[in-house]
């Protein structure tokens, strides 16, 4: 079973969908930090040094185990020349990820 199909099945259940909506922002942040770091060809340690935080903090953020404050996300981004843009959209209009 593909990840896309599994996700569709889980989201078909109202309880599964509610749980997904609660944790999705944390994983969106994790994905954004990870993609930024990979684009810049940095290790977690290198990104952490630039941001002035511990490598383990980057690891927890990227794994979705920790929900960082907005100030932390902005600080990590700024340390490598990025900025944070925040959008609030109605849930029924939010774009869906396409995991493969």
Domain regions of the chain by residue span: 13-91
Of 28, 11, 12, nearest to 20 (Cα)?
11
- In the numeric block, the tokens 């959008």 are attached to 87
56-72 pLDDT, tens digit each: 999 999 999 999 999 99
The whole-angstrom separation of Cα 41 and Cα 46 is 9
What architecture (CATH level 2) is domain 13-91?
Answer: Orthogonal Bundle (1.10)
Distance CA(62)–CA(32), nearest Å, equals 9
| Under-70 pLDDT residues of the chain | 95-100
Q: What is the pLDDT of residue 96?
A: 58
Q: What is the DSSP letter of 80?
A: T
pLDDT at position 91 is 79
Residue 18: CA atoms inside 13 Å, Cβ hemisphere, count?
3
Per-residue pLDDT, 100: 40
């Amino acid at each position: 079973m593909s990840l896309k199909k599994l996700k569709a099945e889980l989201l078909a259940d109202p309880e599964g969908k509610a749980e997904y909506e609660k944790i999705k922002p944390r994983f969106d942040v994790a994905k954004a930090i990870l993609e930024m770091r990979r684009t810049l060809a940095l290790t977690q340690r290198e990104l952490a040094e630039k941001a002035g935080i511990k490598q383990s903090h980057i690891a927890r953020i990227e794994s979705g185990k920790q929900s960082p404050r907005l100030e932390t996300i902005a600080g990590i981004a700024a340390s490598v020349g990025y900025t944070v843009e925040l959008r609030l959209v109605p849930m029924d209009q939010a774009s869906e990820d396409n995991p493969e």
